Copies of this chain bind each other. A is one copy, B any other.
């Protein structure tokens, strides 16, 4: 979380003038996003009420060729009534512009805060919004491959290597076997849509029990809807002590099915998919762990946290997703 690029007030004012949003009133670099620089922008607005926006500069990990998918999906979902921020197009109609050789986009500001200790009512709301989002994306014309699929996770873990994984924890290399099994899973027959694929509480804005915004769509892709539900389940339904919270899990699935009923095939596949979803976070965290110096200021996320969740789904997934 950082602001990687300095944009001066004069540059920001000139940039904002490219949009029909009024004049720049305030710009604060915000400490969000791992792949980009973000500013909370205030303008005079066009109707005298003032406007607020998030200005995002894409720094790394984001392929320029993916931006039409990411930004177009936000506009599509927003137009269908999903609580996602729409993209503000510039006066020429572009969803993003180039500044200093980097892409920038002006995005709607949404109210709300991210829960750190979600309640069952909040999990139910998120489930319902996720179901609605899957239905709303069905007729989106673009598609994007999942770059964090089960085979990709295996490749990341193999790149870490047995020795690398062992340096994090002596038992971590044992995860390579399950990762190979997950890579062999065929999910192509499951119903597919545009999925968020990273719906942690951090990426959810809420006011009370109401979802006011799903944000950070930079892992969004075209993939199995059950995978999105599984990622969200793994991200939301464990307490700070790592214990499964069945009240949250039940509420999340009930909420989801209130918007979109899971098929029998999805119910059946979910235990294995949830295990695969956990391995994705084991893989990305292990990779980040080995890439981050011990004395760096950045807090490393522990891959073992998701080994424990993988183990939970292995043992109890059939019951949880029955």
Contacts and interface: CB of A to CB of B under 8 A. Distances in A.
Interface of A: 1-3, 8-13, 24-32, 40, 42, 109, 111-117, 205-207, 297
A207 B25 contact: yes
A9 B113 contact: yes
A117 B1 contact: no
Contacts of A112: 25-26
* Smallest CB-CB A-B distances: 5 pairs: A8-B116, A9-B113, A29-B31, A28-B30, A3-B31
Contact of A9 (B11, B26, B42, B114): B114
A117 B10 contact: yes
Contact of A29 (B10, B30, B42, B207): B30
Contact of A28 (B8, B40, B206, B207): B40
- This chain's copy number in the assembly: 2
A297 B12 CA distance: 24
A297 B298 CA distance: 10
B42 A111 contact: yes
A98 B8 CA distance: 34
Given A12-B113, A28-B31, A29-B30, 11 more contacts: A2-B31, A8-B115, A9-B114, A9-B115, A9-B116, A13-B113, A24-B113, A25-B112, A28-B28, A29-B32, A30-B40
A206 B12 CA distance: 13
A165 to B, nearest CB: 26
- Greatest chain B CB density within 10 A among A12, A26, A111, A207 is at A26
A298 to B, nearest CB: 9
A11 B116 CA distance: 9
A191 B8 CA distance: 36
